[in-house]
């Protein structure tokens, strides 16, 4: 789902009839949704990367230093069943500039050949959200917006006009309850993530002769 469609889905759950929310409020809520999703179900990417000199693997293009991690390395590619490098034979090496290198401890393929890396990266927009998670993610974003509306109405009543004050209290309560319900719907799916939950995955293939490390 593209970002505009997700935003529409999320805001439709809020029903901000008085147009209290600004575009900045909505954008910030989407950012918090992405941040939470990265904690609960980070993106997994599969990419073919070249083995360079010193048994250094080309850094995957979406690798995020201090966040990403290797899930598996297939080498050589294409065997049936697949052949994987065990965790004892690769590691992530920290460089002085804060970046990292992926290094092998054994030449599982010749220099210049490809290894297939599955790794954890970050969602950066709704375009990589898993379709099965969209409703829960929209609920989490709606909960954030409903919390903002509840706060706005609870602090925006005119005590000199009784009817206005009562209306705002009712709206504050309504949005507070709605936020709680939406957040519970999210947490019912992501509150206790299990290792069996499938992560979102995209696949991309790097041209076979691109050399060097990059970020």
The average pLDDT across 94-111 equals 93
One domain, residues 79 and 147: no
Mean pLDDT, the chain, integer: 86
pLDDT in tens, 130-184: 999 999 999 999 999 999 999 988 875 555 544 455 566 888 899 999 999 999 9
CA 137, CA 114: separation in Å to the nearest integer? 36
Asked if residue 145 belongs to a domain, the reply is: yes
User: Do 44 and 122 touch, CB atoms closer than 8 A?
Assistant: no
pTM tops 0.75: yes
CA 131, CA 9: separation in Å to the nearest integer? 13
Task: Measure the CA angle with vertex 131, ends 12 and 78; round to 5°.
Answer: 160
CB-based contacts of 115: which residues, under 8 Å, 6+ apart? 48, 49, 50, 51, 57, 73, 74, 75, 77, 85, 104, 108, 109
Name the packing angle between helices 134-154 and 162-190 (round to 10°).
150
The average pLDDT across 65-70 equals 93
One domain, residues 37 and 7: yes
One domain, residues 116 and 135: no
Asked if residue 159 belongs to a domain, the reply is: yes
Task: Write out the two tokens for 205.
Answer: 């293939």
Please report which residue ranges of 50-112 form alpha helices under DSSP H.
none
Domain span including residue 172: 3-41+127-190
Number of domain units in the chain:
2
**Boundary residue ending a domain (122, 137, 153):** 122
**Boundary residue ending a domain (70, 99, 122):** 122
One domain, residues 51 and 113: yes
Strand order of the sheet with strand 201-205? 69-74, 114-121, 43-50, 201-205
One domain, residues 52 and 117: yes
One domain, residues 68 and 93: yes
């Amino acid at each position: 789902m593209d970002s505009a469609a997700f935003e529409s889905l999320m805001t439709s759950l809020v029903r901000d009839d008085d147009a209290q929310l600004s575009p900045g409020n909505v954008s910030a809520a989407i950012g918090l949704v992405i941040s939470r999703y990265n904690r609960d179900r980070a993106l997994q990417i599969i990419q073919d990367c070249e083995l360079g000199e010193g048994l250094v693997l080309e850094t995957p293009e979406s690798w995020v230093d201090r966040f990403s991690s290797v899930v598996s390395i297939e080498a050589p590619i294409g065997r049936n069943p697949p052949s994987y490098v065990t965790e004892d034979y690769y590691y992530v090496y920290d460089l002085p500039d804060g970046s990292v290198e992926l290094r092998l401890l054994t030449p599982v393929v010749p220099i210049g050949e490809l290894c297939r890396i599955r790794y954890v990266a970050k969602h950066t927009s709704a375009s990589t959200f898993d379709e099965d998670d969209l409703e829960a993610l929209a609920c989490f974003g709606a909960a954030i917006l409903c919390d903002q509306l509840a706060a706005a109405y609870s602090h925006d009543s005119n005590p000199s006009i009784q009817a206005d004050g009562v209306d705002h209290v009712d709206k504050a309560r309504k949005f507070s309850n709605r936020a709680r319900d939406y957040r519970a719907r999210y947490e019912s799916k992501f509150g206790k993530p299990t290792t069996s939950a499938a992560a979102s995955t995209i696949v991309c293939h790097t041209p076979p002769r691109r050399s060097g490390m990059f970020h």
